[in-house]
Amino acid sequence: MSSPKAVPAADSLPREKVEQFDRELAAITRRYPEDRRASALIPALRLGQELFGHLSPEVQRLAATRLGVTPGRADEVATFYVMFHTRPQGRHVVEMCTNVSCCLTGAERIWAHLQRKLGVKPGETTPDGRITLREVECLGSCGTAPAMLVDEEMHERLTVEKVDEILGRLE
Protein backbone atom coordinates (compact mmCIF):
# COMPACT_ATOMS: atom_id res chain seq x y z
CA MET A 1 0.00 0.00 0.00
CA SER A 2 1.46 3.38 -0.92
CA SER A 3 1.38 6.04 1.77
CA PRO A 4 -0.99 8.98 1.33
CA LYS A 5 0.47 11.81 -0.67
CA ALA A 6 2.23 14.28 1.57
CA VAL A 7 -0.03 17.22 0.83
CA PRO A 8 -0.24 19.72 3.67
CA ALA A 9 -3.75 19.86 5.12
CA ALA A 10 -5.74 23.03 5.06
CA ASP A 11 -4.28 25.17 7.86
CA SER A 12 -7.57 25.73 9.58
CA LEU A 13 -8.14 22.09 10.46
CA PRO A 14 -6.81 20.87 13.81
CA ARG A 15 -3.60 18.95 13.30
CA GLU A 16 -4.40 15.98 15.57
CA LYS A 17 -7.67 15.43 13.79
CA VAL A 18 -6.03 15.54 10.41
CA GLU A 19 -3.57 12.92 11.64
CA GLN A 20 -6.42 10.77 12.85
CA PHE A 21 -8.13 11.25 9.49
CA ASP A 22 -5.02 10.05 7.70
CA ARG A 23 -4.63 7.02 9.94
CA GLU A 24 -8.22 5.94 9.48
CA LEU A 25 -8.23 6.72 5.79
CA ALA A 26 -5.26 4.41 5.32
CA ALA A 27 -7.38 1.54 6.64
CA ILE A 28 -10.25 2.51 4.34
CA THR A 29 -8.21 2.75 1.15
CA ARG A 30 -6.91 -0.77 1.75
CA ARG A 31 -10.35 -2.03 0.74
CA TYR A 32 -9.83 -0.88 -2.86
CA PRO A 33 -7.19 -1.75 -5.43
CA GLU A 34 -4.21 0.56 -5.19
CA ASP A 35 -4.94 2.26 -8.49
CA ARG A 36 -8.59 2.83 -7.50
CA ARG A 37 -8.18 5.07 -4.48
CA ALA A 38 -10.85 7.44 -5.79
CA SER A 39 -13.41 4.78 -4.92
CA ALA A 40 -12.77 5.62 -1.28
CA LEU A 41 -14.20 9.12 -1.73
CA ILE A 42 -17.57 8.42 -0.09
CA PRO A 43 -16.09 6.65 2.93
CA ALA A 44 -13.44 9.38 3.15
CA LEU A 45 -16.06 12.11 3.19
CA ARG A 46 -18.04 10.20 5.80
CA LEU A 47 -14.91 9.96 7.92
CA GLY A 48 -14.30 13.68 7.43
CA GLN A 49 -17.82 14.49 8.47
CA GLU A 50 -17.53 12.31 11.56
CA LEU A 51 -14.24 13.88 12.63
CA PHE A 52 -14.81 17.51 11.71
CA GLY A 53 -18.57 17.81 12.13
CA HIS A 54 -19.47 18.80 8.59
CA LEU A 55 -17.99 18.87 5.11
CA SER A 56 -16.55 22.37 4.93
CA PRO A 57 -14.52 23.23 1.82
CA GLU A 58 -11.38 22.49 3.85
CA VAL A 59 -12.55 19.02 4.79
CA GLN A 60 -13.61 18.31 1.24
CA ARG A 61 -10.21 19.45 0.01
CA LEU A 62 -8.47 17.25 2.56
CA ALA A 63 -10.36 14.16 1.36
CA ALA A 64 -9.85 15.09 -2.28
CA THR A 65 -6.10 15.65 -2.10
CA ARG A 66 -5.52 12.48 -0.11
CA LEU A 67 -7.32 10.44 -2.77
CA GLY A 68 -5.98 12.29 -5.78
CA VAL A 69 -9.32 13.62 -7.00
CA THR A 70 -10.20 17.21 -7.77
CA PRO A 71 -11.90 19.37 -5.11
CA GLY A 72 -14.68 19.86 -7.64
CA ARG A 73 -15.42 16.17 -7.60
CA ALA A 74 -15.43 16.07 -3.81
CA ASP A 75 -17.90 18.96 -3.84
CA GLU A 76 -20.11 17.18 -6.35
CA VAL A 77 -20.24 14.08 -4.20
CA ALA A 78 -20.66 15.99 -0.93
CA THR A 79 -23.71 17.76 -2.32
CA PHE A 80 -25.27 14.77 -4.12
CA TYR A 81 -25.82 12.45 -1.16
CA VAL A 82 -28.36 13.34 1.49
CA MET A 83 -26.27 12.01 4.36
CA PHE A 84 -23.52 14.53 3.67
CA HIS A 85 -23.72 18.01 5.12
CA THR A 86 -21.76 21.00 3.99
CA ARG A 87 -22.98 23.13 6.88
CA PRO A 88 -22.70 22.62 10.65
CA GLN A 89 -25.29 20.30 12.17
CA GLY A 90 -26.81 20.10 15.62
CA ARG A 91 -25.27 17.83 18.23
CA HIS A 92 -27.91 15.30 17.31
CA VAL A 93 -29.62 14.62 14.03
CA VAL A 94 -33.19 13.37 13.94
CA GLU A 95 -34.35 12.09 10.58
CA MET A 96 -37.89 10.92 10.21
CA CYS A 97 -39.36 8.97 7.30
CA THR A 98 -42.63 10.27 5.93
CA ASN A 99 -42.87 7.93 2.97
CA VAL A 100 -46.03 5.96 2.20
CA SER A 101 -45.84 3.01 4.60
CA CYS A 102 -44.92 5.28 7.46
CA CYS A 103 -47.79 7.66 6.68
CA LEU A 104 -50.21 4.73 6.58
CA THR A 105 -49.24 4.05 10.19
CA GLY A 106 -49.38 7.56 11.54
CA ALA A 107 -46.17 9.31 10.48
CA GLU A 108 -47.88 12.60 9.63
CA ARG A 109 -49.07 13.16 13.16
CA ILE A 110 -45.69 12.30 14.65
CA TRP A 111 -43.86 14.43 12.13
CA ALA A 112 -46.05 17.42 12.98
CA HIS A 113 -45.44 16.76 16.66
CA LEU A 114 -41.67 16.68 16.14
CA GLN A 115 -41.66 20.03 14.38
CA ARG A 116 -43.91 21.60 17.00
CA LYS A 117 -42.00 20.20 19.92
CA LEU A 118 -38.59 21.22 18.60
CA GLY A 119 -39.90 24.50 17.22
CA VAL A 120 -38.04 24.05 13.95
CA LYS A 121 -38.87 23.42 10.34
CA PRO A 122 -37.41 20.54 8.32
CA GLY A 123 -33.69 21.03 7.81
CA GLU A 124 -33.34 23.46 10.70
CA THR A 125 -31.43 23.17 13.96
CA THR A 126 -32.79 24.14 17.36
CA PRO A 127 -31.38 27.52 18.50
CA ASP A 128 -29.42 25.80 21.29
CA GLY A 129 -27.65 23.67 18.69
CA ARG A 130 -29.02 20.48 20.20
CA ILE A 131 -31.01 18.90 17.38
CA THR A 132 -31.17 19.13 13.61
CA LEU A 133 -34.46 17.84 12.23
CA ARG A 134 -34.81 16.37 8.79
CA GLU A 135 -37.50 14.65 6.78
CA VAL A 136 -36.15 11.62 4.90
CA GLU A 137 -37.35 8.99 2.46
CA CYS A 138 -38.05 5.31 3.12
CA LEU A 139 -35.64 3.89 5.69
CA GLY A 140 -36.34 0.24 4.99
CA SER A 141 -38.43 -0.12 8.14
CA CYS A 142 -41.86 -0.05 6.52
CA GLY A 143 -43.07 -3.17 8.36
CA THR A 144 -42.20 -1.59 11.68
CA ALA A 145 -43.28 1.88 10.64
CA PRO A 146 -43.21 4.73 11.44
CA ALA A 147 -39.45 4.97 11.63
CA MET A 148 -36.76 7.51 12.29
CA LEU A 149 -33.02 7.66 12.63
CA VAL A 150 -31.41 9.42 15.54
CA ASP A 151 -27.68 9.83 15.02
CA GLU A 152 -27.76 6.84 12.66
CA GLU A 153 -29.62 4.63 15.12
CA MET A 154 -32.98 3.33 13.91
CA HIS A 155 -36.12 3.76 16.01
CA GLU A 156 -39.21 1.95 14.83
CA ARG A 157 -42.92 1.64 15.56
CA LEU A 158 -42.89 5.23 16.71
CA THR A 159 -45.63 6.85 18.72
CA VAL A 160 -45.76 10.41 20.01
CA GLU A 161 -44.90 9.12 23.49
CA LYS A 162 -41.94 7.12 22.23
CA VAL A 163 -40.64 10.12 20.30
CA ASP A 164 -40.85 12.28 23.42
CA GLU A 165 -38.92 9.72 25.37
CA ILE A 166 -36.21 9.47 22.70
CA LEU A 167 -35.87 13.24 22.43
CA GLY A 168 -35.69 13.49 26.21
CA ARG A 169 -32.59 11.32 26.24
CA LEU A 170 -30.67 13.60 23.85
CA GLU A 171 -28.34 15.95 25.69
Kindly tell me which residue out of 27, 82, 100, 112 binds ligand FES, with binding defined by CB under 6 A.
100
> Measured between alpha carbons, how far apart are the two ends of the chain, in Å?
41
Tell me the closest approach of the beta carbon of residue 147 to ligand FES, in angstroms.
4
Contacts of residue 121, Cβ cutoff 8 Å, sequence gap at least 6 = 115, 133
Beta carbons within 10 angstroms of residue 170's beta carbon: 14
Position 65 contacts other proteins (CB under 8 A):
no
d(CA 53, CA 55): 7
101-to-116, 122, 157 alpha-carbon distances in Å: 22, 20, 11
Position 103 contacts other proteins (CB under 8 A):
yes
Which listed option, other proteins, ligand FES, none, makes contact with residue 5 (CB within 5 to 8 Å by class)? none
d(CA 47, CA 111): 30
Position 101 contacts ligand FES (CB under 6 A):
yes
Greatest alpha-carbon span in the chain: 54
Position 38 contacts other proteins (CB under 8 A):
yes
Note the residue count of the chain.
171
Window of 13-21, 79-87, 116-124, 125-133 that interacts with other proteins by CB under 8 A: 79-87
Which listed option, other proteins, ligand FES, none, makes contact with residue 9 (CB within 5 to 8 Å by class)? none
Tell me the closest approach of the beta carbon of residue 126 to ligand FES, in angstroms.
24
d(CA 159, CA 92): 20
Of the candidates 13, 68, 15, 74, the one whose C-alpha atom is nearest the C-alpha of residue 46 is 74
Q: Which residues inside 140-159 make contact with ligand FES, applying CB under 6 A?
A: 140-142, 145, 147
Binding site for ligand FES (CB under 6 A): 97, 99-102, 138-142, 145, 147
Binding site for other proteins (CB under 8 A): 31-33, 36, 38-43, 45-46, 67, 69, 73, 76-77, 80-84, 98-101, 103-106, 108-109, 136-146, 149, 152-154, 156-159
